Structure 1
Amino acid sequence: MFYLFFTTVFTEMALILALLFESPLRKLLILGLDKLKQGRGPLVAKSVGATVLVVLSSAVYNVVEIHKRSRESGALNPTEEVLMADLLLEASLMGFSLFLAVMMDRLHSYIKRKQILEEVINPNKQHNQ
């Protein structure tokens, strides 16, 4: 599961970096995100995001429960330490993934608004140069 989240986080980071700088790849990503936001794409993205959020809250709840047990007994046993570290890594990767997905969505929206405003201000300018 960690490999999936690491891959997702690094892919989202690469996409955000590609969106930040003007390049042919940026135009391709904008077109791809436009297509993704049509049809059933938003519904799928929201359901996947909600599922990840539920799993994230479950991991955080389990971390809090382990922490409560450690306070009652005075110390963590090695098994609980490993479980807690595992859950913290999983929760942090899920949180980063959700944050980067929201950031990517906002960047796409700002870029699209900027393009629309540039077309309104300079209707004679060609963008495909």
Structure 2
Amino acid sequence: MIQLLFLVLFAEGIVALLLMVKIGPLRELVMKGLDQVKMGKGPATVKTIAGTMSVILLSSVTSILKIQNKGAKLGTMTPMDQVLWRTHLLETSLMGFSLFLGFLIDRMHHYLQKLNRLRGNAGASKEEFEKLQKERAQLKEKEEQASKEIKLLQEQISTLTQDLKKLKLEAEEKDKKVETAEAHVVSLQKQAADLLLEYDRLLEDNQNLQTQALGFRG
């Protein structure tokens, strides 16, 4: 029993050491092994073993107390009682330390799993952050390009506005010229009408003069 407990303690000590100190891929192998132990019926088996050891531990403690009480009543312990007391004390110490190491290994495995998950999440967050930075840079480039296009469009709009103003001015000037030409045409039409009236009057005067001249001849 004692040899088995020493073997268990030695194995647990190695496992605890490998969990605490990273030696090549050994920690990953131990973690995978513990993961396998905690799968399926593994937890129930471990709990059963721990429960059995706890019962044996309590039994050993009870035996130690009985031997001590017996020695206290007799005033001394017999050599056999001393051997039994030391044996039970050694077994109790080994089992207690074994249970403690088992609990320590379980907690270390649990927290290392959490640490690995956190590292994985941190790596994913870092990748996401880098991705967001790239997207931000792309958006910034697009924004700069859009800003340049907007400036170009504004310049084109300004040029078109100036051209439109020039066209409006030219149209106004042409309208003024048309109005002036129309007024000139109207004036010419009036002058032509006056000339026609004057021409008719002159024709009438000419006819009158011719009539008078014929009258004088007759």
| Fold equivalence (TM over 0.5) | yes
2:70 and 2:9 map into 1 onto residues whose CA distance is 32
Correspondence for 1:33: 34
Structure 1 residue 80 corresponds to structure 2 residue 85: no
Which blocks of at least 5 consecutive residues in structure 1 are unaligned? none
Larger RCO (alpha carbons 8 Å, 6+ apart): 1
Correspondence for 2:9: 9
Look up the equivalent residue of 1:89 and give its one-letter code.
Answer: L
Identity %: 37
Look up the equivalent residue of 2:77 and give its one-letter code.
Answer: L
Task: Report matched runs for 1:54-93 at 5 Å.
Answer: 54-93=55-94
Task: Report matched runs for 1:87-126 at 5 Å.
Answer: 87-123=88-124
How many residue pairs were aligned? 125
2:46 and 2:80 map into 1 onto residues whose CA distance is 35
Please report the RMSD computed on the Cα atoms of aligned residues, expressed in angstroms.
1.1
2:13 and 2:106 map into 1 onto residues whose CA distance is 12
Instruction: Report the TM-score when normalising by structure 1.
Output: 0.93
**Offset from partner CA, 1:74-109 (integer Å, 9 cap, x none):** 111111101100110111111111000000000000
Look up the equivalent residue of 2:8 and give its one-letter code.
Answer: T
Give the C-alpha shift of residue 71 in structure 1. 0.8
2:46 and 2:27 map into 1 onto residues whose CA distance is 21
Look up the equivalent residue of 2:84 and give its one-letter code.
Answer: L
Moved over 6 A (4+): none
Give the C-alpha shift of residue 120 in structure 1. 1.0
Structure with the bigger percentage of helix? 2
Which blocks of at least 5 consecutive residues in structure 2 are unaligned? 128-218
Instruction: Report the TM-score when normalising by structure 2.
Output: 0.56
Bigger Rg, structure 1 or 2: 2
1:2 and 1:32 map into 2 onto residues whose CA distance is 26
2:108 and 2:7 map into 1 onto residues whose CA distance is 20
